Amino acid sequence: MDVDTLHRIAESRDARFDGRVYLAITSTGIYCRPSCPAMAAKREHVRFYRTAAAAQRGGFRACKRCRPDASPGSPEWNLRADAVARAMRLIQDGVLDREGVGGVAQRLGYSERHLTRIVTDELGAPPIAIARAQRAQTARTLIETTRMPFTDVAFAAGFQSIRQFNDTIRQVFALTPTALRGRVGSEPVAGGAITLRLPARAPIAWQPLLAFLAVRAVEGVEEVVGDHYRRVLDLANGAAIADVSQRDGAITCALRLDDVRDLAQAVATLRRLFDLDADPVAVDADLAADEALAPLVAARPGLRVPGAAAPHELAARAVLGQQVSVAGARTLAGRLVAVYGRPLDEPDGALTHRFPTADALAGAADDDLAMPVRRRETVRTLMAHLADGRIDLGPGADRTAARAQLVALPGIGPWTAEYVAMRALNDPDAWPASDLGVRHALARLGLEPAAAERWRPWRSYATFHLWSSL
């Protein structure tokens, strides 16, 4: 976007651009969301940044009113498939905090120096600064929603020392940790849960998303109770139980973590699962331009494409669901959870197990895989490839390579590869053209599969509209 466009965005207070661009005011030394009601400055005093990290690197601190550091993520990182976008998805998932810049670079096939250069050139801040900004937001969440000692908060958020934690909080928020906690008067939450708001751009079609997950909920791992989706997350340092609902148009979540170091990863996982970084206005506008799809879009504005809690889980369930009903696939998955899933130390009602690991499913016995021999071998082979890294379906995966690797395995065809791309890889342009539901919905609209070409790059959203119309 050129400078005039950016200024028009700032002047319009358009919330759709929160998280996509940040405004810094040289006269006050703060940076804001475009929608900030307090933001009023002459053009010559306004600077624009691609990330909160770049604004912080420029010497600006976060606005206390609009909290730009807590903006929704940019939809750009899911739409794009290049190295910078893949790096951003890995950083958001906490990989840099766990494995360092070298770990992110290795996953992408680059040197640390090259990765740092391309990220800094495009985003105005190196990977370490982007991760630092994320740590600051994680720390703020823990400061405001728990009574954890600040020493524990610092290390849980990924800081290497108390001094680094204190300096970062002061620099980013212009407050000490004590003052930041005092502003909200936080109290400990019952059961040790952390309650937080998951920011998203409006509108959000919550009920269709909830209904899709409800009919596929696997016993022991997930459930839908009323307006709440509850499930077990298997994270880097332990398990977590997430309870997600919509209140007053916002998505809220209560998280009970075995290890608070997993907070950032849990949030990133839930954001992908509920597609919370989408720009629904842009998606809906493009799809509604097609006369055939326009009524479907009008019926469900803000429809999201559900992602996955874990890539290998989604891949396994996709193969289990080949040529059987949704209920049948769910039943089989529940049996595998009961046999191979790891029991929770503290079960929570119907939530009792983590979903089995890829290693465990790769070694599943014949009697536990009640399906044709060929599909049984497909499950084992796919899980073995995921367990040893021959196939990557994680946040930093190369989507084109992943598709090719999937269809190269016996028993995996285009439908399975596209379904995995849609949900595990969060590809907004996946298209399972052979899906029976898609074909039936297209026939009702009088359309041929080739019509999907005009829905690029949002064919995943078009698919979900077609499914929802049934």
Query: Which residue numbers are catalytic?
Result: 32, 435
If DSSP codes are grouped into helix, strand and coil, which group holds residue 286?
Answer: helix
CA distance 331 to 47: 55
Is residue 186 within a helix (H) or strand (E), and if so which, with residue range? none
Residue 19 has φ and ψ, to the nearest 5°, of 90, -15
Positive or negative torsion for Cα 334, 338, 342, 348: positive
**Which residues, at least 6 apart from 450, have a Cβ–Cβ distance to it below 8 Å?**
none
CA distance 396 to 387: 16
Positive or negative torsion for Cα 363, 368, 371, 373: positive
DSSP 209-251: HHHHHHTTPPTTTEEEETTEEEEEEE-SSSEEEEEEEEETTEE
Residue 210 has φ and ψ, to the nearest 5°, of -65, -40
CA distance 403 to 389: 15
Contact 386, 393 (CB under 8 A): yes
**Which residues, at least 6 apart from 38, have a Cβ–Cβ distance to it below 8 Å?**
32, 63, 65, 66
CA distance 166 to 378: 51
